[in-house]
Amino acid sequence: MTEKPILKEITAKKLVGKSISMSLINNKTFDLFSDFMPKRNDISKKITDDVFEVLIYGKHYFKSFNPNNEFIKWACLEVSDFENAPDNMKKLSVESGLYAVFTYKGLAKNIGTLMTYIYSDWLPKSEYELDDRPHFNVLGAKYKNNNPDSEETVWIPIKPRVKN
């Protein structure tokens, strides 16, 4: 795999949705999305219908990687403001910054190949390092659950590598 990302600077985002703590070994993605998807239409002031799958890792998650390490995963929509957010949903602000954006096509269960490439190959060889901001995937119009032709974008927070 030799995919080069598109680098994009984003403005701050306001997201509304559901979150759950999990690990790669104790994956609760199905539970999270089963809870969120039927309720997503309750969200007012949404900017698009694109679903954001946001991942918030601790500072040392990637330094001492272990598939049992926990992180927070969100299923949410971007909104113009937090006013009138449903009581049964949480609010998340994502600060502005630089992202490396990759396109993934295929089944969700196989996305690990792309993620391994990003963290083990592309990132170490690039001029960038991970930034301590949320990672996210955007499940837009081309996303089709459990379909090999499904497409989503993978957003990795980066910053210029500090030179020693």
Could you tell me the domains of the chain? 6-160 (3.20.80.10)
pTM of the model: 0.91
**CA dist., res. 149 & res. 56, Å (int):** 27
What are the average pLDDT values for consecutive 10-residue runs of the chain, which has 164 residues?
Answer: 84 97 94 96 94 92 84 97 93 97 91 90 94 95 89 96 78
| DSSP output for the chain | --PPPEEEEE--EEEEEEEEEE-STT--HHHHHHHHGGGGGG--SEEEEEEEEEEE--TTTTTT--TT--EEEEEEEEES-STT--TTSEEEEE--EEEEEEEEES-GGGTHHHHHHIIIIIHHHSSEEE-SS-EEEEE-TT--TT-TT-EEEEEEEEEEPPP-
- The predicted pLDDT at position 123 comes to 94
- The predicted pLDDT at position 67 comes to 86
Q: What is the signed CA dihedral for 132, 22, 139, 3, rounded to 10 degrees?
A: 60
- The predicted pLDDT at position 9 comes to 97
- The predicted pLDDT at position 89 comes to 96
**CA dist., res. 67 & res. 64, Å (int):** 10
Query: One-letter amino acid identity for 43?
Result: I
